[in-house]
């Protein structure tokens, strides 16, 4: 298995470019099933999650051609309605197949994705939305079975315990594009990735208004057609690089990202006193003296502070003098990185849904274990600020969502190497 060896190496300096957004590309890939014409997608990141999704698309009948890196031409002339467990279990986002299959095939059998380390990931809202579209939905033998022969648009309130749902919104919008009548979706997710999906659906011929707002109105059409679409930039990757600059007190320009996609995040960093220069499509982090200020953060659906940048901000706050409180409102268990940061010397306690971080602590390198995608990023960021070597195991989590992470960061001065676990000193290896 691959591991990272990261050594604190002082300030990072230079320019780093953001790739296509994983969480936009996944439902967009699923949306290619909505038409029998060819869809050309650009700026698709090269990630293991994309490979899983492409494998599932091929399984249901899509032809996938990659004429050049980052570009996929997908044609789904004839497809089946079944997405089996052995493929779906590899990635929760494969639940995004429900909407397109229901719309195009008027039936779907999609395995329910398994558990997740960051907390329960129910799909009750996806099911509620489909039922409101007059579909018959049954759960049997680990699968969601949908009979959509009588599908019909209508009013749907899609809010849950934590507010809106990102992939739930994607599914219901996709299902409604080809449903007779008008669907009025209230409490729709407003994340930029949902906006990107809707924009692509409009290019395919869908009728959607209210894009980017919590109320989407979808008027069903007979047929969708092929289109060309370029996936938006990954705001979470961009935010992770911003923190890489901040935690090393470097001068880092994160290119290819519109700062407006990161409003709540940049607002918190501004409150912390991080000097930044914002351009149309870049964020430059500048060096600073002394300590940043502590911040209190609560994760919320967009435009609130994103849960996918919670762990990384926590890493930065270990280097900030005073008490910071980070409250996680989307995924109750998303603090799996905390015991690992503690092993590096961080002073963090968990009180209910909040992490209380006391800084600034001197971090020192240690062998640590990544538990999920964003936790992996947080551990690497902490390792940049630590004295000595940090060995990070289970980095396959990171490979799901960060493209060429170590190459991009090495190019601006990070000391990060991908090695095999057999290269690790024996006494540091997990059992």
**Based on CB atoms, which residue is closest to ligand EPU, 314 or 359?**
314
Query: Taking CB under 6 A as the rule, does residue 166 contact ligand EPU?
Result: yes
Catalytic position from the list 116, 190, 198, 227: 116
Provide the angle, in degrees to the nearest 10, between the axes of the packed helices 373-385 and 310-317. Answer: 20
CB 216 within 8 A of CB 173: yes
Alpha-carbon span 26 to 394, nearest angstrom: 23
Q: Is 23 annotated as a binding residue?
A: yes
* One of 51, 58, 106, 121 touching ligand EPU (CB under 6 A): 121
Query: In this chain, which stretch among 148-156, 160-168, 340-348, 405-413 interacts with ligand EPU, using CB under 6 A?
Result: 160-168
Strands 38-42 and 71-75, sheet pairing? antiparallel
Contact in structure between 94 and 56 (CB atoms under 8 Å): yes
Q: Is 268 helix (H, G, I), strand (E, B) or coil?
A: helix
Nearest to 94 by CA among 78, 109, 76, 73: 109
C-beta of 95 vs 292, nearer to ligand EPU: 95
Minimum Å distance from CB 34 to ligand EPU?
Answer: 18
Please say if 135 is a catalytic residue: no
Provide the sign of the torsion angle of the four alpha carbons 262, 414, 251, 386, taken in this order. Answer: positive
Q: Is 307 in the site for ligand EPU (CB under 6 A)?
A: yes
Has 121 been labeled as part of a binding site?
Answer: yes
120 binds ligand EPU (CB under 6 A): yes
Helix axes 192-203, 166-177, angle to 10 degrees: 10
3-state SS string for 133-195: CCCEEEEECCEEEEECCCCCCCEEECCECCECCHHHHHHHHHHHHCCCCEEEEECCCCCHHHH
Is 160 an interacting residue with respect to ligand EPU (CB under 6 A)?
yes
- Decide whether 148 or 188 has the Cβ nearer to ligand EPU: 188
Query: Residue from 113, 153, 359, 401 that binds ligand EPU (CB under 6 A)?
Result: 401
Closest to 54 (Cα-Cα) out of 65, 42, 43: 65
Question: Interface with ligand EPU includes 212 (CB under 6 A)?
Answer: no
Q: Is 398 in the site for ligand EPU (CB under 6 A)?
A: no
One symbol per residue from 346 to 385: x for binding ligand EPU (CB under 6 A), - otherwise; what is it? ---------------------------xx-----------
Q: Which is nearer to ligand EPU, 120 or 425 (CB)?
A: 120
Q: Which stretch binds ligand EPU (CB under 6 A): 156-164, 247-255, 339-347, 355-363?
A: 156-164
CB-CB contact of 305 with 268 (8 Å): yes
Nearest distance from residue 246's CB to ligand EPU, in Å?
20
Residue 196 engages ligand EPU in binding (rule: CB under 6 A): no
What is the closest distance, in whole angstroms, from the C-beta atom of residue 122 to ligand EPU in the complex?
4
Shortest CB 49 distance to ligand EPU, Å: 8
Of 76 and 169, nearer to ligand EPU (C-beta) is 169
The piece of 119-127, 220-228, 378-386, 418-426 that touches ligand EPU (CB under 6 A) is: 119-127
Residue 67 in marked binding region: no
Q: Which of 3, 12, 25, 26 is close enough to bind ligand EPU by CB under 6 A?
A: 26
**Coil/strand/helix, residue 428:** helix
Exposure b/e, 222-251, CB count within 10 A at least 16 = b: eebebbebebbbbbbbbbbbbbbbbbbbbb
Helix, strand, coil percentages in the chain from 3-state DSSP, rounded to 5: 35, 25, 40
DSSP string computed for 275-339: -EEE-SSEEEE---SSPPPP-EEEB-STTSB-GGGHHHHHHHHTTSSEEEEEE-SS-TTTTTTHH
| C-beta closer to ligand EPU: residue 158 or 317 | 158
Q: Annotated binding residues for phosphoenolpyruvate, as ranges?
A: 22-23
Judged by the rule CB under 6 A, the positions of this chain that interact with ligand EPU are: 23, 26, 93, 120-126, 160-162, 165-168, 307-308, 330-331, 373-374, 401
As annotated, the active-site residues are 116
């Amino acid at each position: 298995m691959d591991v990272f060896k990261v050594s604190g190496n002082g300030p990072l300096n230079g320019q780093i470019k953001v790739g296509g957004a994983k969480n936009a590309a996944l439902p967009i890939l699923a949306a290619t099933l909505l038409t029998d014409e060819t869809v050309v997608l650009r700026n698709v990141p090269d990630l293991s999650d994309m490979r899983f999704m492409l494998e599932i698309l091929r399984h249901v009948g899509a032809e996938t051609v990659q004429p050049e890196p980052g570009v996929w031409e997908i044609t789904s002339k004839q497809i089946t309605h079944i997405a089996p467990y052995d493929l779906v279990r590899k990635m929760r986002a494969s639940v995004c197949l429900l909407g397109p299959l229901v719309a195009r095939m008027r039936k779907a059998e999609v395995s329910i994705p398994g558990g997740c380390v960051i907390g329960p990931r129910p799909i009750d809202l996806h099911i509620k939305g489909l039922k409101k579209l007059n579909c018959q939905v049954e759960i049997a033998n680990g699968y969601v079975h949908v009979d959509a022969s009588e599908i019909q648009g209508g009013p749907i309130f899609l809010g849950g315990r934590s507010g809106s749902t990102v992939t739930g919104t994607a599914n219901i919008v996709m299902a409604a594009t080809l449903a007779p009548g008008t669907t009025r979706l209230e409490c729709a997710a407003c994340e930029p990735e949902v906006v990107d999906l809707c924009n692509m659906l409009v290019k395919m011929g869908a009728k959607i208004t209210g894009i980017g707002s919590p109320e989407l109105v979808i008027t069903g059409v007979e047929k969708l057609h092929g289109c060309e679409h370029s996936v938006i930039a990954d705001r979470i990757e961009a935010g992770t690089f911003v923190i890489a600059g901040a935690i090393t007190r470097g001068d880092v320009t994160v290119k290819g990202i519109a700062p407006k996609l990161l409003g709540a995040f940049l607002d918190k960093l501004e409150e912390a006193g991080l000097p930044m220069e914002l351009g149309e499509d870049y964020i430059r982090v500048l060096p600073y003296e002394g300590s940043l200020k502590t911040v209190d953060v609560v994760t919320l659906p967009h435009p609130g502070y994103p849960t996918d940048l919670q762990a990384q901000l926590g890493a930065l706050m270990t280097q900030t003098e005073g008490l910071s409180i980070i409250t996680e409102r989307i995924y109750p268990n998303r603090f799996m990185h905390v015991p690992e940061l503690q092993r590096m010397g961080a002073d963090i306690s968990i009180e209910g849904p909040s992490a209380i971080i006391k800084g600034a602590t001197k971090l020192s390198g240690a062998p640590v274990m990544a538990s999920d995608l964003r936790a992996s990023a947080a551990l690497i960021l902490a390792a940049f600020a630590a004295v000595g070597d940090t060995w990070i195991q289970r980095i396959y989590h990171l490979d799901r969502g960060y493209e060429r992470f170590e190459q991009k960061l090495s190019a601006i001065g990070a000391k990060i190497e991908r090695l095999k676990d057999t290269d690790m000193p024996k006494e540091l290896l997990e059992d």
